[in-house]
Amino acid sequence: MFTSIRGLSVLVTGGTKGIGKGLAAAFAAEGANVVIVGRDREAGERAAAELASEGGVVSFEPGDVSSAESCAEVVAATLARHGGLDIVCCNAGIFPSASLAEMTPEQLEEVLGVNLKGTFFAVQAALPALRSSGRGRVIVTSSITGPITGFSGWSHYGASKAGQLGFMRSAALELARSGITINAIMPGNIITEGLADLGPEYLATMEAAIPLGRLGSIEEIASAALFLATEEAAYITGQTLVIDGGQTIPESLEAMG
Ligand code: NAP
């Protein structure tokens, strides 16, 4: 249905687990050459081996997106491996909970450092390669939490996810003349290892608040990202795509009918 992305070079930060691993799997299944990034070397190599065993070209590069130097090294490794870089998925993220009353400056810095500054650093590092590509794509994994909704204990997380959208809109203008698009996907509650850690009670409460009656799958997020990376999405930039089973629509539980 869409023009093939076979042979394109893709970098997925936070690609070793959860949504990012799903993004990597989806791009690899379409024949792209994928590099996944995370801090945990063992988990990363295991994930890359698993994805490669499914037939894709997937390898791991250790990196920490909260460091500009590390992002530059990861991009350099990708260029050495695949000769270019066409698509960057800024997906690495953390979501520790901390009440505003108790949050330390270090906790705030950590969340902003990974989720928000990490997005800046990854895009900055990839910029020359994306310009050379001629059809560069950046896909940011934001969230409904922050840009649309709030959640007690996640003010730092929500600020980081809303901040990613502010970054994206100005970046879209700066990158447009280089033929690079940048868009954000905004997942609702998606079943990942990270979300499962929040416990069965959290998951059940969430399901009850979602009009489609279930949490989303990693594959449902990946297919949206894949679309934004296609040739057919070349005229879409600076935009957001909410993928939440309708979670942000009802005014109240009563409104669900
Ligand atoms: P996850 O399962 O915990 O995976 C997070 C990934 O990010 C891992 O690969 C992790 O690897 C990597 N990572 C974390 N900090 C990093 C750093 N400093 N540098 C490089 N990699 C780092 O989380 P997830 O649920 O898939 O979430 C992925 C993204 O989706 C996040 O941006 C999150 O905010 C967003 N999101 C998730 C949901 C959801 O329902 N799951 C909803 C909305 C938005 P290492 O730990 O080895 O570094």
33 Cβ contact list (under 8 Å, min separation 6) = 7, 8, 9, 10, 57, 81, 82
CA-CA distance, 163 to 154, in Å (whole number)?
Answer: 14
pTM of the model: 0.97
- Does residue 1 register a pLDDT over 80? no
Q: Is residue 248 part of a domain?
A: no
Nearest residue by C-alpha to atom 39 in ligand 1: 190
CB distance 33 to ligand 1 below 6 Å: no
Q: Are the CB atoms for 47 and 60 separated by under 8 Å?
A: yes
CB distance 195 to ligand 1 below 6 Å: yes
Q: Is residue 250 part of a domain?
A: no
Helix, strand and coil percent figures for the chain, each rounded to 5: 45, 15, 35
Q: Is residue 87 part of a domain?
A: yes
Q: Is residue 249 part of a domain?
A: no
- Does residue 35 register a pLDDT over 90? yes
CA-CA distance, 133 to 55, in Å (whole number)?
Answer: 25
Q: Is residue 45 part of a domain?
A: yes
| Owning domain of residue 47 | 9-241
Q: Is residue 221 part of a domain?
A: yes
Residue 29 belongs to a domain with what CATH number?
3.40.50.720
Higher pLDDT, 95 or 196: 95
pLDDT in tens, 217-250: 999 999 999 999 999 999 999 999 999 999 999 9
pLDDT in tens, 9-18: 999 999 999 9
Q: How far is CA 80 from the centre of its chain?
A: 23
For the chain, the domain total comes to: 1
What value does the mean pLDDT take over residues 30-34? 98
Q: Which residues are catalytic?
A: 157
CB distance 193 to ligand 1 below 6 Å: yes
- Does residue 202 register a pLDDT over 90? no
Nearest to 192 by CA among 206, 211, 181, 172: 206
Q: Is residue 164 part of a domain?
A: yes
Sign, CA dihedral 77-81-85-86, equals negative
